[in-house]
Structure 1
Amino acid sequence: MHTLNLGILAHVDAGKTSLTERLLHVAGVIDTVGSVDDGSTRTDSLALERQRGITIKSAVVSFAVDGVTVNLIDTPGHPDFIAEVERVLGVLDGAVLVVSAVEGVQAQTRILMRALRRLRIPTLVFVNKTDRTGARHGGVLAELARRLSPAVVAMGRPEGLGTRNARTRQFTAGDRDFVTALTDLLTTHDDELLAACVEDGVAVPYARLRARLAAQTRQALVHPVYFGSAATGVGIAELITGITEFLPATGQDTEGPASGTVFKVERSPAGEKIAYARMFSGTVRTRERVRLRGEGDEEIREGKISAITVFDSGTDVREPSLPAGRIGRLRGLHTVRIGDRIGESGGAPPRAHFAPPTLETVVTPLRHQDEGVLHQALGHLAEQDPLIGVRTDAVRQEVSLSLYGEVQKEVIQATLADEYGIEVGFRETTTICLERPTGTGAAVEFIDKEPNPFLATVGLRVEPAAFGSGVEFRREVELGSMPFSLMRAVEDTVLETLAEGIHGWRVTDCVVTMTHSGYWPRQSHAHAVFDKSMSSTAGDFRNLTPLVLMAALEAAGTTVYEPMHSFRAEIPADALSPLVPALVKLRAVPGTPVTEGSVCVLEGEVPAARVHALQRLLPGLTRGEGVVETSFERYRPVEGAVPHRPRTDRDPRNRKEYLLRTLRRVGGGQDLAPGSGRA
């Protein structure tokens, strides 16, 4: 049987989970369609999801249709939980992007479509809620073509829009306008088809057009559009036909080397890790030892699978193996992490498709005795969502979390209370900035030379790199000039130290080059006892590197960048005048307004720190008629006072304090005077 791993994606409240329920019902998996409002849907299984009526965690459910096993993954639609969507994208064969016929294309819709097109994931569009008051047809199609992709083609036309009797008439070979539009679209990407139209001078057979539509959809070149209603079931059968006809369901290589990806990790009530994995080739089996490796990991971990459950016909069933193409849950892998590769590391490595979190907050337990338990609980949550970025400040005894928004903060608070019995509070949410080197800087400290107290020579040069390139570590020293373990200690420490730059923000988009190296080889006394005071260790390099790196970074200088969000506001035309001064006060950069009748559309950029203020101001400035959409756009240099972030490390910028704290860590109360040779 062929397999299709299908993602359902949408802006929040577009009807994504309702569509999932209707697909399961039509496929015969469930007898009654669940309701999001009633909390009775199959995929929203968390109590918090049922209470709030939103999807927080991705969920998998399987059904069979026309000889194809469809593993359907329902993803969150709220932008605060975009990290869940991030992890799912890498395991999809195809996707259905849900758009509301009432609201049309929204901010999250565009973000999702950009990622789907960039990854070339074959995608169908389902325009939902055709039975709702205010549902549109032509306007939504125009928005799809203008704001998502010009390569969209409607496969039918809704009738009775905005009523409970809304229906959809599918186009056929007899609809000349449809055939003409389809031909024009397909020939844009197909020279052979274009030549057939021009040279033969006759219409291309409809069967051939349909075949070419399937081929180009699987190549993510075009996107068929279906209209319907998940609430009434209209258009669902036609959508299922499109899924099986146009999306790539294929057989898999179950006999090749095992290779899979872990896209979700959760814990059972007993605390056992459960890994959700999609196998791309080969097969893994119960009681088999498998290799695990995360992106960028040098070390390969191993684990023994104790049990496997495979999604099948609306439930998950215990199976002895998980073959290629299927999605299952693996138990027994105690060291597994999200993003791990199972077995062979074939295929493209996972990478970021969406912007990282741009907000953070300090979380504090309301009861002092919960401090230790809170750290453990946050560690568990970070396993399930690494992007929450737990950041511990040992100096102030505080814990910070990275966030996408206020709703995510509320969910974390409720989860800690419900699952761990920990009541917490949060400080004011602040913006996460970045630092980038302004110029080039270098520093070096030599072994046994003042003021270096460590048995190590380290020289580093810091240079700016292209925006979005991250951090690259290079060596100008010969790899054999000292043991690789000492080289690696420098590289690892460089990456760790850059987590907090001159102003306390993460440093990125730079090249760090090791320019000098030196060490004292292992030495022993006459009676063959190893003497640390005479021999360089990795600790020497780990302790010296932050001093050298920060000196080089200070010589280079850094610029602090703040996250900017794009905004699109639809407001009454007469509300533009009072809105513009308010935007200026928020440090927003508005573009040229476009007025269409009584409605004005204004686009521009606003600092992420001011987004919530804009959302609060808009109703009062527009008599409650204004609507604004925002999404992360880019980072720009901070204007005015540079924001500083409190440091959580030993602060290598302050040499005296750093060395005193390092002395306490390495112990012994030894003399740290220059030339002493040890710390």
Structure 2
Amino acid sequence: MAREFSLKNTRNIGIMAHIDAGKTTTTERILFYTGRTHKIGEVHEGAATMDWMEQEQERGITITSAATTAAWKGHRINIIDTPGHVDFTVEVERSLRVLDGAVGVFSAKEGVEPQSETVWRQADRYGVPRIAYVNKMDIIGADFLNVVESMRDRLQANAVAIQLPIGAENDFVGIIDLVEQKAHIFKDDLGQNIEVTDIPAEYLEQVEERRLELIEKVAELDEDLTMKYLEGEEITVDEIKAALRKGVCEVKIFPVIVGSSYRNKGVQLMMDAVVDYLPSPLDVPAIQGHLDDGTEAVRHSSDEEPFSALAFKIMTDPYVGKLTFFRVYSGILESGSYVVNATKNKRERIGRILQMHANSRQEISIVYAGDIAAAVGLKDTSTGDTLCDEKHPVILESMNFPDPVIEIAVEPKTKADQDKLGVALGKLTEEDPTLRAHTDEETGQTILAGMGELHLDIIIDRMRREFKVETNVGKPQVAYRETFKAPARVEGKFVRQSGGRGQYGHVWVEFEPLEPGTGSQFESKVVGGSVPREYIAPALAGIEEQMKNGVLAGFPLVDVKATIVDGSYHDVDSNEMAFKIAGSMALKAAKDKCKPVLLEPIMKVEVTVPEEYMGDVMGMLNSRRGRIEGMDSRGGAQIIRAKVPLSEMFGYSTTLRSGTQGRGVFSMELSHYEEVPKSIAEEIVSKNKGGE
């Protein structure tokens, strides 16, 4: 089977935005216009094709990024719909990792919202080329140019309008293309009858001003065009498009287009912009990786290169079982062939290969470089693993996932649920790297840790629906940490002589605090063989294991360096276990000398409220130990930015809603960890005296 679409005509794009900016509706319209669905699904009717889990349809938000494929004007477009809720940032993160370009969707009324900023910054980190689509031009308060300004202002993005709306709100009837200088007037509700005409006279002045700005921005991207511009020569449409495409691919400029997906206006022009400006796999830098021996390797987008792919999502499908979504970076893959999971050094057989269309699928026998598909039958592969040709192993750079900030205890309601709980959690943690599950050794409860209350709510809900597991859920708990404030040298000595062979392990360890966020480090500076080499690793392992349980209140100890500097051993009685225990005893002994403190997650909170509630909301934040960091006004509403401890944010949404008659909204994401005030720390320690 030969390639249907060339690499040059392939686009791998994500659609990213703030919750409710209209992402899923936009994707629905794309699928409708590219002939993939015959009836448009509405999100608020709960029938959108991309939102295929039951909960997504109920809540009207997108949780898992479904990958789907569509064709437009001779191009294949693989689309990944990403969730806009901050608890699901991991989904956005992993989508961005495997995309070549993205469409950022903004609401014409709200403009740049907190989650838009988060997602935009993630895309900046991965260097993803983007175009921006200002949606909802038909709603009251829509203001296109205001959004372009807020992108420049809040995102520091070099945004430039390449379209202008004709009318706004109910009078939004068409779009002016600034590049080609034509007006597109919509003649029907489905947006399929479009008349291309000259620009209406009343818009000529505005068009001239905005087109001049566009040409100035384009000229900055290309030296030849700069000369042409300075010499007053006409820059052609093709030159503008070529320069914009180059600027977008180099992440130097972000063209902004406009529409109303719900009203079927502007989506086809957006598809044209995707084809015109977003990169194909050939336009983005070749992916970097490394070989077994640590040397760097590059895999170019080509069918001729050895096969390499990145698994970016695992899903459990009710019909075929475990589905592994992967992006092929180089080479080709046929169903039934063998590959190596280079990350885990395991051989895997590719059973069937499926091309996904939201929740229906088509079986294919071969995938080519640049494609996104799902494989059935991979046993050992998890998110972020590299799959590659057996003869040419390579490990592609993986993804980094944030640590969870919130925990809940779950207990199965019946004995039957107990057995199913383990299976359910096994599958769910495999699908979602930010979900962690462990058993509390003292209480025997299963503890789930995740990115936020909504994240964990949905996991509990999925356990009930998909795995039929009924659970009782405890109150959310904050994932505190511990660290040391002072360095110290301490001794850990474990001696047991009780007839016959004894136990003997003895180490001196230096502990020192590290910069926040560094993680923990372990090393040995033992000289002269006072501790034999084979006992150093067990002693360090003992320290590391004890760190997981902390020294104050049973929370993990972080950002500490442990160095074994000295010790002693016994020819007969010493063994690995004795040194492991000595290591953990040293850490416990450090409690009295290293000034341990509790750390708590501090959230970056943004509250948007009408002006009359400003005082009340600021008071509410202050009473929750919040620090107000700044205020902005946007579209008649006030935005308050603050840093607030997560422990104080439980139940905040209810308080905010009742305090602002339902008109206040807030978003939060993890900012950093910092020391808990002494009085509160003492209370937490006495409540959790599990670390003894």
User: How high is the TM-score relative to the length of structure 2?
Assistant: 0.82
Match 2:422 to one of 351, 370, 375:
375
- Which of 544, 552, 556 is the aligned partner of 1:506? 556
Whether 1:331 aligns to 2:376 is: yes
Instruction: Tell me the distance in 1 between the aligned counterparts of 2:31 and 2:635.
Output: 43
Match for residue 109 of structure 1 among 109, 112, 116: 116
**Which residue of structure 1 lines up, in the alignment, with residue 204 of structure 2?**
none
Q: Which stretch has the larger CA shift, 181-190 or 630-639?
A: 181-190
Is 2:248 aligned against 1:209? no
CA–CA distance in 2 between the matches of 1:422 and 1:135? 45
Deviations 1:320-344 (A, max 9, x none): 3433221222222222222222233
- Larger CA deviation: 95-104 vs 188-197: 188-197
Deviations 1:19-76 (A, max 9, x none): 1111111112222212222333222222222232222211111112344322111122
Q: 1:87 to 1:553 in 2, by over 3 A?
A: farther
SS at match of 1:378: helix
Q: 1:480 to 1:367 in 2, by over 3 A?
A: same
How many pairs are equivalent?
633
* In 2: Cα distance, 1:420 partner to 1:598 partner: 46
Match of 1:176 in 2: 208
- Supply the AA of the counterpart residue of 2:58: Q
Aligned position for 1:545: 583
Q: State how far apart, in whole Å, the 2-side matches of 1:67 and 1:494 are.
A: 60
Choose 475-484 or 303-312, whichever is displaced more.
475-484
Match of residue 466, structure 2, among 419, 422, 436: 419
Describe the shift of the 1:411–1:159 C-alpha distance in structure 2 as closer, same or farther (beyond 3 A).
Answer: same
Q: Are 2:483 and 1:476 aligned?
A: no
Which of these residues, 131, 140, 148, is aligned with residue 141 of structure 1?
148
The answer as to whether partners of 1:71 and 1:311 remain within 8 angstroms in 2 is: no
- Check the 8 A contact 1:290/1:303 in 2, yes or no: yes
Q: Is 1:256 matched with 2:301?
A: no
The aligned counterpart of 1:665 is none
The offset of 1:543, in angstroms, is: 4.3
Residues 370 and 617 from structure 1, CA distance in 2 versus in 1: closer, same or farther, beyond 3 angstroms? Answer: closer
Tell me the distance in 1 between the aligned counterparts of 2:525 and 2:310: 36
Return the alpha-carbon distance in structure 1 between the equivalents of residues 156 and 525 of structure 2: 46
Contact 1:307 1:320 in 2 (8 A): yes
What is the match of residue 294 of structure 2?
none
1:198-240 deviation per Cα after TM superposition (whole angstroms, max 9, x unaligned): 5x45565553333221111111221111111112221111111
Distance 2:218 2:687 in 1: 56
Structure 1 counterpart of 2:196 = none
1:507 aligned counterpart, secondary structure: coil
Q: CA deviation at 1:157?
A: 1.0
Residue 364, structure 1, aligned to residue 411, structure 2 = yes
Structure 2 equivalent of residue 10 of structure 1: 17
| 1:604 and 2:630 correspond | no
- Taking the aligned partners of 2:686 and 2:327, their CA distance within structure 1 comes to 41
Deviation per CA, 1:465-492, whole angstroms, max 9, x where unpaired? 3333223334435899999986655565
Is 1:582 the counterpart of 2:589 in the alignment? no
8 Å contact kept, 1:460–1:552: no
- Following TM superposition, by how much is the alpha carbon of 1:151 offset from its aligned partner in structure 2, in angstroms? 0.7
Kindly indicate whether the alpha-carbon contact (under 8 Å) linking 2:504 and 2:574 is maintained by their aligned counterparts in 1: yes
Q: 1:185 to 1:427 in 2, by over 3 A?
A: same
- CA change 1:204–1:293 in 2 (3 A) is same
Corresponding position: 1:310 with 2:351: no
Deviation of 1:377 after TM superposition, in Å, equals 1.6
CA distance in 1: counterparts of 2:657 and 2:538, whole angstroms: 55
Matched, 1:638 2:676: yes
Q: Aligned partners of 1:258 and 1:479: how far apart in 2?
A: 50
Find the aligned partners of 1:34 and 1:486 in 2 and give their Cα distance: 64
The answer to whether the Cα contact below 8 Å between 1:11 and 1:106 also exists between their aligned partners in 2 is yes
Structure 2 partner of 1:243 = 274
Q: In structure 2, what is the Cα distance between the partners aligned to 1:470 and 1:168?
A: 52
1:504 touches 1:647 (CA, 8 Å); kept in 2?
no
- Cα offset for 1:274? 2.3
- Offset of residue 620 of structure 1: 4.3
Matched residue, 1:670: none
User: Structure 2 vs 1, CA of residues 572 and 287 (structure 1 numbering), >3 Å: closer, same or farther?
Assistant: closer
Q: CA RMSD in A?
A: 3.5
Equivalent position of 1:95 in the other structure: 102
Q: Secondary structure at the match of 1:338?
A: coil
Q: Does 1:401 align with 2:448?
A: yes
Structure 1 letter corresponding to 2:372? I
Aligned to 1:677: none
Give the residue type in structure 1 aligned to 2:110: E
Conserved 8 A contact 1:106-1:629: no
Q: Which amino acid aligns with 1:260?
A: A
C-alpha distance in 1 between matches for 2:225 and 2:502? 74
> How far, CA to CA, are the matches of 1:398 and 1:346 in structure 2?
37
- What's the offset of the Cα at 1:569? 3.3
Q: Distance in 2 between matches of 1:419 and 1:313?
A: 18
Inter-CA distance 492–180: structure 2 relative to 1 (3 Å threshold): farther
Alpha-carbon offset, residue 188 of structure 1: 5.4
How many angstroms apart in 2 are the aligned matches of 1:71 and 1:598? 38
In the TM superposition, what whole-angstrom CA distance separates every residue of 1:518-576 from its partner, at most 9, and x where no partner exists?
A: 8889xxxxxxxxxxx87845x55554433334434664333322222233334444433
Once residues 161 and 301 of structure 1 are traced to their aligned partners in structure 2, the CA distance between those partners, rounded to angstroms, is 57
SS in 1 for 2:122: helix
Residue 556 of structure 1 aligns to a residue in which SS? coil
Pair 1:45–1:440, CA change in 2 (3 A): same
Aligned residue in 2 for 1:667: none
Distance 1:311 1:571, change over 3 A: closer
Q: Distance in 1 between matches of 2:592 and 2:306?
A: 49
Is the alpha carbon distance of 1:624 and 1:284 closer, same or farther for their aligned partners in structure 2, counting shifts above 3 Å?
A: closer
Alignment of 1:462-541 (within 5 A): 462-477=511-526, 494-502=543-551, 503-516=553-566, 536-537=575-576, 539-541=577-579
Q: Deviations over 1:565-588 (max 9, x none)?
A: 233334444433444333321111
Higher deviation after alignment, 128-137 or 543-552: 543-552
* CA–CA distance in structure 2, aligned partners of residues 330 and 479 of structure 1: 55
**Is the 8 Å Cα contact of residues 187 and 193 (structure 1) preserved in structure 2?**
yes
CA distance in 1, matches of 2:581, 2:362: 51
Q: Which of 479, 495, 502 is equivalent to 1:432?
A: 479
Q: Matched residue of 1:463: which SS?
A: strand
Q: Structure 1's 592 and 70: CA in aligned 2 closer, same or farther, altered over 3 A?
A: closer
Specify every segment of 5 or more residues in structure 1 that has no aligned partner in the other structure, as ranges.
Answer: 522-532, 655-679
- How far does residue 165 in structure 1 lie from its aligned partner after superposition? 4.9
Cα distance between partner residues in 2 of 1:385 and 1:126: 29
Instruction: Tell me the equivalent position of 1:28.
Output: 35
Distance 1:180 1:482, change over 3 A: farther
CA contact (8 A) 2:405 2:478 kept: yes
Note closer, same or farther for the CA distance 1:619–1:448 as it changes in structure 2 (3 Å cut). Answer: closer
Unaligned runs of 5+ in 2: 1-5, 182-206, 283-300
Question: How far apart, CA to CA, are the structure 2 residues paired with 1:436 and 1:416?
Answer: 35
The aligned amino acid for 2:601 is P
Equivalent runs, 1:561-580 vs 2, <5 Å: 561-580=599-618
CA distance in 2, matches of 1:518, 1:274: 53
Q: Which deviates further from its counterpart, 45-54 or 111-120?
A: 45-54
Which residue identity is paired with 1:633? S
State the SS of the aligned residue for 1:635. strand
Q: Per-residue deviation at 1:136?
A: 2.2
Alpha-carbon displacement from aligned partner over 1:69-95 (angstroms, at most 9, x marks no partner): 221111222222222222222111111
